[in-house]
Structure 1
């Protein structure tokens, strides 16, 4: 199963949007480092932040998963980013090039738990 985890950029208040814009370079660097460190696991960086409107941004990773234990690393990474940068995250699966969200977690949604997310994904 191909999963994705994105930084949630929709329905942000002005203050949250400003903070996301300020932290964008650091978030991109952290996700790039994770993707490079996990290249053998086919982790791919999703980095489409060209729009002037934050709501259109797509920033995160995609990764093939076979067992629920493999969710621990990306979920922990995004939990850490959520804590540090006060963001929320969207997790889901990709099928036929379409993203299907299954859960949200982070600063406002609460900490993500890999086991529960695996259940939502059907792993």
Structure 2
């Protein structure tokens, strides 16, 4: 397989996987599922924040595949998700909650999406 074809295939798979899984997290926040509410309680974040946080996740999840048509949008969405999960990490530390399993999965997907996007579209 040609190098560019491999890079595109990796970009495609990572972007769609990250979009789907982060999109599921967004839906959980938006429909008021118990898990995000419990996490908000653990992180000592008001439950009223679950809706805006879900909207941020949803915007990122939709922005990733939009990057296929508008590359800058995909890059910005991936970078925004990386920043979102850095904030989530800070919230875990502030709450002295060291259960980083779910956070590691989601943040790794965001970082991988950003890396794949930059690898395919170039750094500049």
Please give the TM-score of this superposition, normalised by the length of structure 2: 0.37
Q: Which has the higher helix share?
A: 2
Q: Which has the higher strand share?
A: 1
